[in-house]
Amino acid sequence: KLDPHFNDPSGNHVGLDVDSLNSIATSDPSVSSQIDLKSGKSITAWIDYKNDLRLLNVFLSYTDPIATTKKPEKPLLSANIDLSPFLNGEMYVGFSGSTEGSTEIHLIENWSFKTSGFLPVRSNSNHPHNVSDSSLVPPLAIPRSTSRKRHRHNLAIAISCPIIFCFALLAFGYLTLKKWRVVKAKKELKTEQITGLREFSYRELYAATKGFHSSRVIGRGAFGNVYRAMFVSSGTISAVKRSRHNSTEGKTEFLAELSIIACLRHKNLVQLQGWCNEKGELL
- Binding-site positions for ATP read 241
Distances (CA, A) of 44 to 29, 64, 177: 13, 9, 68
- Label the pairing between strands 274-275 and 198-199: parallel
DSSP code of residue 26? E
The SS3 call for residue 265 is coil
Number of CB atoms found within 10 A of residue 282's CB: 27
Q: How far is CA 128 from the centre of its chain?
A: 43
Percentages helix, strand, coil for the chain, rounded to the nearest 5? 25, 20, 55
| Closest-CA residue to 226 (of 250, 242, 244) | 242
Binding positions are 241
Q: Is 244 helix (H, G, I), strand (E, B) or coil?
A: coil
Q: Are 208 and 200 in contact (CB under 8 A)?
A: no
Let me know: does 123 contact 134? Beta carbons within 8 Å. Answer: no
Residue 280 gets the label, from left (phi > 0), alpha (psi -120 to 50) or beta, of left
